[in-house]
């Protein structure tokens, strides 16, 4: 497993330094070590953590990265990114009002997380509320996952992107391998594919693509 800045190991488990000491987002374990407080990062609850354990090679999230997070849900992974990028902003786009209510329990404590109740298919509805973006991270359960990422990348021009592709959300009849192949081909219009990772055993029928924007795009 490769080491990345901002990502730590505590007794063999992934962790991030808690930017809001004493605060838990999803009942994760807090561990104090060397005068710092760490939040253990559960790969069964976070696809980025699963990807790290499964051999992620490039980590685009830096201390000052501005991230557009599409499908932020209740804030589990977004809160770890907020720890990793304390000098950046995490713009958390979520369509579900129920999930947004849970996310709003987190954002007052993680002050660099910006909640946006919006549809990721319509970036023009939130583009004016967002400054420059370095990375797009997408984790949505919709049938047009590649198109959503390409549309947002067209507007926000990130240097990097990550997307988790959920085959059953796209087509429950086709084989996951066929769905992954078709979605990956679509993304080649705007991105170079740096790495493709299966997320098993943490998530079934999911892959994560690590992407870099093509030069000139």
Buried b (16+ CB within 10 A) or exposed e, 34-64: eeebbbbbbbebbbbbbbbbbebeebbbbee
Task: pLDDT band for 125, please (50, 70, 90 cuts).
Answer: very high
Task: pLDDT band for 167, please (50, 70, 90 cuts).
Answer: confident
Task: pLDDT band for 170, please (50, 70, 90 cuts).
Answer: confident
What are the pLDDT digits (tens) for 143-153?
Answer: 889 999 999 99
- Domains, the chain, with CATH or none: 42-213 (3.40.50.150)
Mean pLDDT, the chain, whole residue set? 94
Q: Going by C-beta distance under 8 Å and a sequence separation of 6 or more, which residues neighbour residue 14?
A: 7, 8, 40, 41, 43, 49, 52, 53
Instruction: Identify whether the C-beta of residue 180 lies closer than 8 Å to the C-beta of residue 204.
Output: no
- Residue 83, pLDDT score: 98
pTM listed for this prediction: 0.94
């Amino acid at each position: 497993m490769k080491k990345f800045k901002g990502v730590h190991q505590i007794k063999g488990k992934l962790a991030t330094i808690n930017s809001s000491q004493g605060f838990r987002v999803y009942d994760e374990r807090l561990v104090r070590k060397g005068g710092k407080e760490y939040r253990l990062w559960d790969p069964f609850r976070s696809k980025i953590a699963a990807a790290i354990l499964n051999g992620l090679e490039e980590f685009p999230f830096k201390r000052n990265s501005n991230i557009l997070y599409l499908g932020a849900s209740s804030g589990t992974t977004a809160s770890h990114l907020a720890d990793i990028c304390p000098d950046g902003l995490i713009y958390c786009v979520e369509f579900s009002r129920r999930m947004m209510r849970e996310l709003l329990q987190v954002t007052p404590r993680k002050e660099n997380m910006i909640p946006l109740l919006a549809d990721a298919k319509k970036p023009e509805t939130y583009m004016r509320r967002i400054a420059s973006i370095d990375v797009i991270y997408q984790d949505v359960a919709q049938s047009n996952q590649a198109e959503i990422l390409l549309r947002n990348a067209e507007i926000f021009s990130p240097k990097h992107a990550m997307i988790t592709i959920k085959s059953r959300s796209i087509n429950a009849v086709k084989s996951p391998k066929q769905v992954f192949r078709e979605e990956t081909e679509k993304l080649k219009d705007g991105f170079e594919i740096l790495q493709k990772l299966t997320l098993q055993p943490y998530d079934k029928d999911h892959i994560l693509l690590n992407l870099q924007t093509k030069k000139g795009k």
